[in-house]
A and B are shown apart, each in its own frame.
Chain A
Amino acid sequence: MAVLRRPECLLLTALLLFCWPYSSSALQWDEDLNVELRDADNATAETSLNKQGNQTEHAPATIDTLPIVTWKWHHVEAPYLVALWVLVCWLCKLVFELNHRVTNIFPESGLLILIGFVLGGIVWGADKKATFALQPTTFFYYLLPQIILDAGYCMPNKLFFSNMGAILVYAVIGTCWNAGAVGISLWGCYEGGAMGHLEIGFLQFLLFGSLLSAVDPVAVIAVFEEVHVNEVLFILVFGESLLNDGVTVVLYNVCDAFVSLGAAKINAAEIIKGIISFFVVAFGGALVGVIFAIILCLLTRCTKNIQIIEAGFIFVISYLSYLTAEMLSLSAIMAITFCGVCSQKYINVNMDERSVNTVRYAMKVFANGSETMIFVFLGISAIDPAIWVWNTGFILLTLLFVFVYRIMGVFFLTWFLNKTRLVPVETIEQVIMSYGGLRGGVAYALATVLDPVKIKEKNLMLCTTFLVIYFTVVLQGVTMKPLVKWLKVKRSAQSELKLIEKLNNRTFEHTLCAVEDICGRIGDNWWIRGWNRFEQKWICRYLMKPSARKSQDYLFGVFHQLNLEDAVNYVSEGERRGSLAFMRSEDAASVDFKKKFGTDMSDIMPDIMVNTDFNGLDVSMSSVTRESVPSVSLEIHENDTKNLRNNNDVNVHHLLQQHLYKSRKHHRHKYSRSHFSINQSEDEVQEIFQRTMRSRLESFKSAKMGVAPAKKISKHPQKDRQQKMSNGKSLDKSKAHPYGDEDFEFSDGNSASGGEAATYQTPYATRSGIVNRAFMPEMDTPPTMRTPPWLSQAETDGSVAPSQRAQRSLPWSPSNIRRLAPLRISNRSTDSFIMADVVKPPENPEDRNSRRDET
Chain B
Amino acid sequence: MGLPLVESALQWNSGILNANRDPKNDDVEFQITRLYSRFHSLDKGENGALSREDFQRIPELAINPLGDRIINAFFPEGEDQVNFRGFMRTLAHFRPVEDNEKSKGHDASEPLNSRNNKLLFAFRLYDLDRDDKISRDELLQVLRMMVGVNISDEQLGSIADRTIQEADTNGDMSISFSEFIKVLEKVDVEQKMSIRFLH
B159-199 CB contacts (< 8 Å) to partner A? 159, 161-163, 165-167, 171, 175, 183-184, 186-187, 189, 191-197, 199
In whole Å, how far is B30's beta carbon from the nearest beta carbon of chain A? 13
**Distance between Cα atoms of A84 and B37 in the complex (Å):** 73
Binding-face segment, B7-15, B17-25, B57-65 = B57-65
Which of B60, B163, B167 lies in contact with A513, CB distance below 8 A?
B60
**Distance between Cα atoms of A811 and B195 in the complex (Å):** 42
Does residue B157 face the partner (Cβ distance < 8 Å to A)? yes
Known: A501-B186, A823-B158, A829-B154. A515 touches B195 (CB 8 A): yes
In whole Å, how far is A735's beta carbon from the nearest beta carbon of chain B? 13
B165 CB contacts on chain A under 8 angstroms: 819, 837
The DSSP consensus for interface residues of chain B is helix
**Distance between Cα atoms of A495 and B186 in the complex (Å):** 7
Give B167's nearest chain A residue, CB to CB.
A500
Does residue B28 face the partner (Cβ distance < 8 Å to A)? no
Known: A553-B151, A555-B159. A525 touches B195 (CB 8 A): yes
Q: Give 1 or 0 for each of A501-522: 1 = CB within 8 Å of chain B CB.
A: 1011111111111111111110
Cβ contact within 8 Å between B35 and A519: yes
The contact size tier of chain B is: 35 or more
A507-551 CB contacts (< 8 Å) to partner B? 507-521, 523, 525, 550-551
Does residue B33 face the partner (Cβ distance < 8 Å to A)? no
Cβ contact within 8 Å between A501 and B184: yes
Known: A498-B166, A501-B187, A553-B150. A513 touches B64 (CB 8 A): yes
Cβ contact within 8 Å between A493 and B186: yes
Does residue B143 face the partner (Cβ distance < 8 Å to A)? yes
Cβ contact within 8 Å between A556 and B147: yes
Known: A503-B143, A507-B122, A510-B64. A551 touches B150 (CB 8 A): yes
Which of B150, B167, B199 lies in contact with A550, CB distance below 8 A?
B150
Give B186's nearest chain A residue, CB to CB.
A495
Does residue B6 face the partner (Cβ distance < 8 Å to A)? no
Does residue B112 face the partner (Cβ distance < 8 Å to A)? no
**Distance between Cα atoms of A706 and B7 in the complex (Å):** 73
In whole Å, how far is B40's beta carbon from the nearest beta carbon of chain A? 11
Cβ contact within 8 Å between B193 and A555: no
A499 CB contacts on chain B under 8 angstroms: 159, 162-163, 166
Give A556's nearest chain B residue, CB to CB.
B151
**Distance between Cα atoms of A499 and B166 in the complex (Å):** 8
Known: A512-B195, A830-B154. A518 touches B61 (CB 8 A): yes
Give A828's nearest chain B residue, CB to CB.
B154
B73-128 CB contacts (< 8 Å) to partner A? 74, 91, 94, 96, 99, 121-122, 125
Known: A422-B96, A562-B162. A504 touches B58 (CB 8 A): no
Does residue A164 face the partner (Cβ distance < 8 Å to B)? no
Does residue A454 face the partner (Cβ distance < 8 Å to B)? no
Give A512's nearest chain B residue, CB to CB.
B195
> Interface size of A by Cβ–Cβ distance < 8 Å?
51
Does residue A58 face the partner (Cβ distance < 8 Å to B)? no
Q: Give 1 or 0 for each of B35-49: 1 = CB within 8 Å of chain A CB.
A: 100100110000000
In whole Å, how far is A169's beta carbon from the nearest beta carbon of chain B? 18
A821 CB contacts on chain B under 8 angstroms: 158, 161-162
Known: A523-B196, A556-B147. A830 touches B158 (CB 8 A): yes
Which of B64, B71, B122, B191 lies in contact with A423, CB distance below 8 A?
B191
Does residue A833 face the partner (Cβ distance < 8 Å to B)? yes
In whole Å, how far is A774's beta carbon from the nearest beta carbon of chain B? 32
Does residue B5 face the partner (Cβ distance < 8 Å to A)? no
In whole Å, how far is A235's beta carbon from the nearest beta carbon of chain B? 14
Give A840's nearest chain B residue, CB to CB.
B171
**Distance between Cα atoms of A339 and B61 in the complex (Å):** 35
B147 CB contacts on chain A under 8 angstroms: 553-556
**Distance between Cα atoms of A521 and B183 in the complex (Å):** 32
Does residue A444 face the partner (Cβ distance < 8 Å to B)? no
In whole Å, how far is B62's beta carbon from the nearest beta carbon of chain A? 10
B137-165 CB contacts (< 8 Å) to partner A? 142-143, 146-148, 150-151, 154-155, 157-159, 161-163, 165
A834 CB contacts on chain B under 8 angstroms: 157-158, 161
Cβ contact within 8 Å between A504 and B184: yes
**Distance between Cα atoms of A515 and B150 in the complex (Å):** 28
B55 CB contacts on chain A under 8 angstroms: 518
Cβ contact within 8 Å between A559 and B150: no
Does residue A822 face the partner (Cβ distance < 8 Å to B)? yes
**Distance between Cα atoms of A429 and B112 in the complex (Å):** 28
Cβ contact within 8 Å between A555 and B60: no
Known: A507-B146, A556-B151. A523 touches B195 (CB 8 A): yes
Cβ contact within 8 Å between A512 and B193: yes
B61 CB contacts on chain A under 8 angstroms: 514, 517-518
**Distance between Cα atoms of A511 and B192 in the complex (Å):** 10
In whole Å, how far is A309's beta carbon from the nearest beta carbon of chain B? 30
Q: Give 1 or 0 for each of A829-851: 1 = CB within 8 Å of chain B CB.
A: 11001100100100000000000
Known: A521-B199, A833-B158. A511 touches B66 (CB 8 A): yes
Cβ contact within 8 Å between A514 and B146: no
Does residue A824 face the partner (Cβ distance < 8 Å to B)? yes
Does residue B16 face the partner (Cβ distance < 8 Å to A)? no
Cβ contact within 8 Å between A823 and B94: no
**Distance between Cα atoms of A508 and B187 in the complex (Å):** 11
Most chain B C-beta atoms within 10 Å of own C-beta, residue among A420, A493, A520, A523 = A520
Cβ contact within 8 Å between A518 and B58: yes
Which of A493, A501, A517, A550 lies in contact with B60, CB distance below 8 A?
A517
**Distance between Cα atoms of A512 and B61 in the complex (Å):** 11
Cβ contact within 8 Å between A507 and B64: no
Known: A555-B147, A837-B161. A511 touches B183 (CB 8 A): no
Most chain A C-beta atoms within 10 Å of own C-beta, residue among B35, B55, B193 = B193
Cβ contact within 8 Å between B166 and A508: no
**Distance between Cα atoms of A503 and B195 in the complex (Å):** 20
Most chain A C-beta atoms within 10 Å of own C-beta, residue among B35, B66, B161, B195 = B195
Which of A511, A562, A819, A829 lies in contact with B193, CB distance below 8 A?
A511
Which of B143, B150, B175, B192 lies in contact with A505, CB distance below 8 A?
B192
Known: A498-B166, A515-B70. A555 touches B146 (CB 8 A): yes
Most chain A C-beta atoms within 10 Å of own C-beta, residue among B125, B157, B159 = B159
**Distance between Cα atoms of A500 and B192 in the complex (Å):** 15
In whole Å, how far is A185's beta carbon from the nearest beta carbon of chain B? 35
Known: A510-B146, A517-B64. A500 touches B163 (CB 8 A): yes
Give A516's nearest chain B residue, CB to CB.
B195
**Distance between Cα atoms of A348 and B61 in the complex (Å):** 32
Cβ contact within 8 Å between B187 and A504: yes
**Distance between Cα atoms of A420 and B199 in the complex (Å):** 10
B41 CB contacts on chain A under 8 angstroms: 520
**Distance between Cα atoms of A837 and B70 in the complex (Å):** 32
B60 CB contacts on chain A under 8 angstroms: 513-514, 517
In whole Å, how far is B150's beta carbon from the nearest beta carbon of chain A? 5
Which of A498, A819, A824 lies in contact with B154, CB distance below 8 A?
A824
A840 CB contacts on chain B under 8 angstroms: 171
B158 CB contacts on chain A under 8 angstroms: 559, 821-823, 830, 833-834
**Distance between Cα atoms of A164 and B154 in the complex (Å):** 39
In whole Å, how far is A223's beta carbon from the nearest beta carbon of chain B? 25
Known: A500-B183, A518-B58, A519-B38. A511 touches B70 (CB 8 A): yes
**Distance between Cα atoms of A462 and B188 in the complex (Å):** 46
A171-216 CB contacts (< 8 Å) to partner B? none
Binding site for B on A (CB under 8 A): 420, 422-424, 493, 495, 498-501, 503-521, 523, 525, 550-556, 559, 562, 819, 821-824, 829-830, 833-834, 837, 840
Question: 5 other contacts beyond A422-B96, A520-B38, A830-B157, with CB at 8 A cut-off?
Answer: A503-B142, A514-B67, A520-B42, A556-B151, A556-B155
Give me 11 A-to-B residue pairs in the complex whose CB atoms sit less than 8 angstroms apart, sorted by A's number.
A424-B99, A500-B163, A500-B183, A501-B187, A505-B192, A511-B70, A515-B91, A554-B147, A559-B155, A819-B165, A833-B158
Across chains A and B, which 9 residue pairs bring their CB atoms closest together, nearest first? A821-B158, A517-B60, A514-B70, A510-B66, A495-B186, A508-B192, A520-B38, A499-B163, A830-B154
